[in-house]
Amino acid sequence: MIDREDMMELTRRMTPSRTSFTRIAGCYMDADGEIDGTFNTNFLKLSGREKEKNLAIAKRIPYARTNEQLREVRFAEGQAGPGTVQQLLAAMKDCGLKNDALMDTFYELVAEHYESREAYAILVFHDCYDVPVKAKDKERLGESEEVYEYLICAVCPLAGEYEPGTPVCGFLYPAFSGRSADPARAAVYDENASHPRGKMLRALLGC
């Protein structure tokens, strides 16, 4: 089960003045499932308007209704070895999304699993959060307990030409559990839990 307060701890920082996002990468897929363009840029170099727009997209994933729209899943046994999606995600995280070859491989994997008759975007965000130590009364003590390095992926139908709309599904990797990274798990988001698109992400992740 996901602790709502863990997710709120992440989303409270997702504002233009507080964000520590380092990078955003993504691609645009046409209605035939073919890549129609990619981008990869330093998040802090975005304009104020672009930061705000993309933070709203990224925030939608962890801010979703916990354990309804956003559910924690465990990678299947044997999914951490060479050639697995978990290894790919770990490599994407470790390089801070700077390896375009890894990103292209990821986009192609998503396209293989995601069924759509309309154009859409795949956005991936990278962040490093210095998790502060907290006392038993939850007051912040100041020093960092650990660095939680993570990815947020959002799959968004296009609202206009090269204009991502509201995410319909996505995930957070690794899971943030007990204010710490859990690389054996991810949190998968479905906008509509009764008609889930996230099932393709669970299949992709091998969960």
Which of the two residues, 142 and 27, has the higher pLDDT score? 27
| 103-121 per-position pLDDT tens digit | 999 999 999 888 888 999 9
Domain count, the chain: 1
Q: What is the pTM of this model?
A: 0.91
Provide the residue type at 150 as one letter: Y
Q: Taking all residues of the chain, what is their mean pLDDT, rounded to a whole number?
A: 89
Range of the domain at 112: 4-205
- Give the C-alpha distances (Å, rounded to integers) separating 193 from 33, 39, 117, 189: 24, 30, 20, 9
Report helix, strand and coil shares of the chain as percent, to nearest 5.
Answer: 25, 40, 35
At residue 76, the pLDDT reads 78
* 109, 85 Cβ separation under 8 angstroms: yes
* Residue 199 clears pLDDT 80, i.e. is over it: no
Q: pLDDT-derived band of residue 204, with 50, 70 and 90 as boundaries?
A: confident
Which pair of tokens denotes residue 82? 């060479």
List, in sequence order, every residue forming a beta bridge with 42; answer none if it has no partner. Answer: 23
Provide the residue type at 5 as one letter: E
